[in-house]
Structure 1
Amino acid sequence: MKVVAAIDSFKGSMTSLEVAAAFEKGVKKVYKDAEFIKIPLADGGEGTVKALIDNLDGKMVNIKVKDPLMRDIDSFYGISGDGKTAVIEMAAASGLPLLSPDERNPLKATTFGTGELIKDALEKGCREFIIGIGGSATNDAGTGMLSALGYIFLDENGNELEPNGENLINIKSFKDDKVMKEVSEAKFLIACDVDNPFYGTNGAAHVYGKQKGATGDIIKILDDGMRNFSNVIEKIKKTDISNISGSGAAGGLGGAFTAFFNSELKPGIDIITEKIELENKINGSDYVITGEGRIDFQSAMGKTPSGVAKLAKKYGIPVIAIGGSVDDEIGNIYDCGITAAFSIIDSPMTLGEAMDTKNAQRLVEKTAEQIFRLIKQNKKN
């Protein structure tokens, strides 16, 4: 019996490896000699650095950078074991959770800290980057990130502008003579799971501005600024990013990578599964276990469970998904290749009790044991 566990973290409760380890205990109560392979995963959001670094025998790098309001904070990124690839979550420097609700203001927020993470990795010799751009507090079209790497943005009088959402409307040109030369040597894979254009009714400001603290008037200012900056980019770089799918991700950070760097935007789970060669690891297994904190209709839309299941489906391998909860509306997950989905909750409990790490591990172990007892009985019949 060979079982592969390729599971996302249960955010706020268990890491990917903790979920997999608890499941292994349950399986081995039934199949003591089972070969059990644990593969930590993430889909480009929180936990991406840890998951990839665990798979690539890498190390974590701790560093002080600027938060979205230019205050010093402790942040991190990862470097692969061979020292060539940096793995970065932009939310670790420019994420919404770094601000209290009353601090959220996309007119002032900047991605400068994300640029500092990239800069440090470039200085350490990394030339390949995997960057998750979910969870941003910003709508600066990546100007903060670009500024940290040496770009200077100017108004109509040639005055340097602070790189934030408020100043996008004032940008008339930019200078790149002080940009790190290493930037041109690097390749960037951007984990992007949205298809929003740079500006417009489906663009960065209109779709995501409100959750970042923007009112209706501010959203218009931001959207007008995005349109202006897009025009400046097209004029100077001869690149039209306005309608590129995903260019509006993370407040336009996706567009900045597209326009200024050698980059490619792809679904996060696709990037990660390809990088760790998950398909090869799944092939030949009897069962694949996947999951995340909540299994719902979104699980089939580029999330970890669907990415894993699509690979297993190629080989006809049954896929069992587990979650802290399983929504009623999950019919579309079966089309991806998931055989069945199970909630680990076995009795009424508070959210705090359900998310308690030790209790959650017990519940995963118990669920795994019950699933594989049924599998064993079925094999006897």
Structure 2
Amino acid sequence: MHVLLAPDGFTGTLTAKQAAAALAEGWRRGAPHDRITQVPLSDGGPGFVDALADNLGGEVVATVVEDPLGRPVPATVLVVERAGRRTAYVESAQACGLHLLAQDERDPTRTSTFGVGQLLAAALDVAPHRIVVGLGGSGTNDAGAGLLAALGAGPRARLGRGGLPLEVAEPADLAGLGAVADRLRDVDLVVAADVDSPLLGLHGTSAVFAAEKGASEEDAQRLENALGHFAAVVGRVRPPATDLLTGAPIRPERQPGAGAAGGLGYALLLVGGRPASGVEAVLDAVGFDDLVASADLVVTGEGSFDWRSLRGTVVVGVAEAAARVGVPAIVVAGRALVGRREAMSIGLSGVYAVAERPEQVAASFADPAGTLVARAERVARTWSPAAG
């Protein structure tokens, strides 16, 4: 049997590549006669560039940018040439990721995406035809104002100090916004987001994601107000385009993906970006449909298989790709908090947790690779005819 192992990273414990290796080791123990192919994946968040580099090759260009608190941090741009066209892949989490912050540093009222702007500038330096920016896993909630400051839209002192200072933003703070858009006009800018949330509202970035980045309920409400004010100022500086069919204004803050990475998607849409699913961008780039068609079973995975896993994630993308060609897909996760009915609704044939009981959670964090190997071994014996 040919088994395709295509996990995302297990957040906080294993990268996608490490997870794929652990799944492979366990599977070989349980079903040593099976043929295994490893394809680490990403939804646009942490591991985006590594997953693409592992599958596409290309040149990795090293640089140094600032983290969410302004400290230097290493980052990379992946440059891939195909048919005379150069694509630069950028992973925003390398500059604004939550993993870059200690627990007591997590405060989205003051963390900034300035470093992502620096990373985008580094991508522009390689003269690409296309730039794909992976969004996800951020520790920021600044509507991408920091990124805009780094590219020259306005002063860092006004735009690059986090989300909360945006509550006093003024049109003069965005005097260079048009110039930034002009700078990117000839580049196909793809916004590969891990979520399709808008910037504002009950389903927006502050309401849904600010708490996990360290915001209190009061902070989240103030951030919502600050980002709303910022979007209104942007609308005065750069009035929205008009929908030719309806005559209504096209408001970027309401677009799917605008709320990704704390509103970083919004800033990229402002300067000409076009939205895309992060996981679909990765699956397309690695030729995943062809890989699935040659497999007998697909195994995906992530740290926590929960309600958020049911929309726009690696697990969903893998399950849908497998369903299109009639190949069964299963997920092996650190924890499984979604029922069988919900799992079947996205095309999964099985869900397996490393930590099946609450008392097993500590062990899974203490030895994430070892416990994943052990679980994969048991799953292999269940699914592989060779194991019988």
* TM-score by shorter chain over 0.5: yes
Aligned residue in 1 for 2:263: 252
- 3-state SS, counterpart of residue 6 of structure 2: strand
Q: Is the 8 A contact 2:381 2:387 kept in 1?
A: no
- Distance in 1 separating the partners of 2:259 and 2:134: 14
Give the TM-score of the pair, scaled to structure 2.
0.82
The letter of the residue matching 2:86 is: K
Aligned residue in 2 for 1:337: 347
Aligned residue in 2 for 1:146: 148
Q: How does 1:1-381 map to 2 (within 5 A)?
A: 1-28=1-28, 34-70=34-70, 72-82=71-81, 84-152=86-154, 161-164=158-161, 165=163, 166-173=165-172, 174-176=174-176, 179=180, 182-215=183-216, 218-239=219-240, 240-261=251-272, 263-327=273-337, 329-344=339-354, 349=360, 351-352=362-363, 355-357=366-368, 359-360=370-371, 362-373=373-384, 375-376=385-386
Q: Is the 8 A contact 1:16 1:40 kept in 2?
A: yes
The letter of the residue matching 2:282 is: I
- Distance in 2 separating the partners of 1:346 and 1:251: 32
Change (3 A) 1:208 1:287: closer
Q: Is the 8 A contact 1:9 1:47 kept in 2?
A: yes
The letter of the residue matching 2:274 is: E
Partner deviation per Cα, 1:153-182 (whole Å, 9 max, x = no partner): 59xxxxx73433303532213233764965
Deviation, 1:84, is 2.6
Partner deviation per Cα, 1:295-344 (whole Å, 9 max, x = no partner): 33433222212211111111111113222333362421112221112234
In our comparison, the structure showing a higher alpha carbon Rg is 1
Partner deviation per Cα, 1:267-317 (whole Å, 9 max, x = no partner): 321221122120111113222222222333433222212211111111111
Q: Is the 8 A contact 1:344 1:367 kept in 2?
A: no
The letter of the residue matching 1:307 is: G
- 3-state SS, counterpart of residue 7 of structure 1: coil
- 3-state SS, counterpart of residue 44 of structure 1: coil
Deviation, 1:352, is 4.0
The letter of the residue matching 1:286 is: D
Give the TM-score of the pair, scaled to structure 1.
0.84
- Distance in 2 separating the partners of 1:224 and 1:26: 49
Deviation, 1:252, is 2.2
Alpha-carbon RMSD = 3.1
Q: Is the 8 A contact 2:23 2:376 kept in 1?
A: yes
- Distance in 1 separating the partners of 2:32 and 2:221: 61
Gaps of 5+ in 2: 241-250
Partner deviation per Cα, 1:12-56 (whole Å, 9 max, x = no partner): 444333433444445556765543221111222222221111111
Q: Is the 8 A contact 1:45 1:134 kept in 2?
A: yes
- Distance in 2 separating the partners of 1:350 and 1:218: 30
Q: Is the 8 A contact 2:44 2:135 kept in 1?
A: yes
Gaps of 5+ in 1: 155-159
Q: Is the 8 A contact 1:247 1:255 kept in 2?
A: yes
The letter of the residue matching 1:123 is: D
Change (3 A) 1:126 1:102: same
The letter of the residue matching 2:322 is: A
Change (3 A) 1:326 1:46: same
Change (3 A) 1:15 1:187: same
The letter of the residue matching 2:336 is: V
Change (3 A) 1:60 1:290: same
Change (3 A) 1:227 1:217: same
Aligned residue in 1 for 2:243: none
- Distance in 1 separating the partners of 2:353 and 2:17: 18
- Distance in 2 separating the partners of 1:98 and 1:220: 24
Aligned residue in 2 for 1:157: none
- 3-state SS, counterpart of residue 331 of structure 1: helix
Q: Is the 8 A contact 1:90 1:114 kept in 2?
A: yes
Deviation, 1:114, is 0.6
Q: Is the 8 A contact 1:150 1:180 kept in 2?
A: no
Deviation, 1:135, is 2.8
- Distance in 2 separating the partners of 1:45 and 1:139: 15
Greater shift, 321-330 or 22-31, is seen at 22-31
